[in-house]
Amino acid sequence: MVNTVSKGANRAAAKARRDKAAQRTPLPRTAKQMTDPEGAGKPFTPTADSKSKVKADDFIAAATESGWTAVLSTPSPLVVHVKATRGPETITIGWLSGVFIDNAEHTCEGHTVKMRNAMAAKRQMTVPAQEAIAAASKVSSKPKRKIRLDDEDDTEPHEAARKHVPFDAESTPDEEVFAAVVGRTLIWKNRTTGLEEQATVLNVAPENQRHLEIVIKHNRRILNFTCEPESDEKLQGITSGSFRSVYLDAIRAVV
């Protein structure tokens, strides 16, 4: 026995299914579904600079929501910076190839505080302006103490400060500098705050490190590197810390 279904008998049911599917919330677009605004709708894979741009746009949206004015800049093809301001307050932050650059700072009333990551910067933006200004003014009123290495000689500050640096900032080849710093702690003076800072270079072979490089800026060599994770980060299974940059001739010691 053969069942015969008249033509169009299932159209109503099919239309109902299509209408139900159309009411569903669409899933986020994947990298393959994204389109290049300059490529007439052609699919493309996000590049390193576009990944930074996505994070910068998210930060700008958070800043605007909290009453800040934010400006985006691209000093190089792979780097995106954002400068957010609110009255006397300024927050600067950046990303390299989609990775947070560990030079974010909050400045207010002459007092500068480093931001550990983008989330910390976002939290700072939610602090009421009067509260942030009052806290900065209180700290800025305290006398600043100069921090220096014990063997630094005021008569020859530059040479004495670099006694514990195993390379020449101008002439040592990049590969030799990498070999000298991997897994070791760098100590340098922050030109903005005047205070001594330090960070330990990720203890991984140079050829296996993604962000270990030396670049030139203002005719000076800059070491870009990834830090060893903090103790609490290691407990969370994090294998590498934040991204740092330092002028080679500003390094005072490698220990």
Residue 196 is predicted with a pLDDT of: 85
CA 134, distance to chain mean position in Å, is 28
Residue 140 is predicted with a pLDDT of: 55
pLDDT digits (tens, 9 = 90+) for 66-84: 999 999 988 777 788 899 9
Residue 19 is predicted with a pLDDT of: 80
**CA–CA distance, 166 with 170 (Å, rounded to integer):** 12
Residue 160 is predicted with a pLDDT of: 46
Q: What is the pTM of this model?
A: 0.41
What are the sequence ranges of the domains in the chain? 48-140, 157-254
Which of 146-155's residues contact partners 24+ apart within 8 Å by CB, and which partners? 146/194, 147/195, 147/196, 148/196, 149/187, 149/196, 149/252, 149/253, 152/252
Residue 47 is predicted with a pLDDT of: 53
Domain covering 157-254 assigned CATH 2.30.30 in the classification: yes
Q: Could you identify the residue written with the tokens 């070491």?
A: 223
Order across the sheet with 251-254: list the strands. 196-200, 185-189, 251-254
CA distances from 132 to 86, 109, 161 (A): 11, 10, 35
Residue 193 is predicted with a pLDDT of: 73
With H, G, I as helix, E, B as strand and everything else as coil, classify residue 144. Answer: coil
- CA-only gyration radius of the chain, Å: 26
Question: What is the pLDDT tens value at each position of the chain, 255 positions in all?
Answer: 555 656 666 778 778 888 877 776 565 544 444 444 444 444 434 454 578 888 889 999 999 999 999 999 887 777 888 999 999 999 999 888 788 887 788 988 888 888 888 888 999 999 898 888 888 777 655 554 444 444 343 333 444 455 688 899 889 999 999 999 998 999 988 877 778 888 889 888 888 888 899 999 888 999 999 888 876 555 556 666 788 889 999 999 998
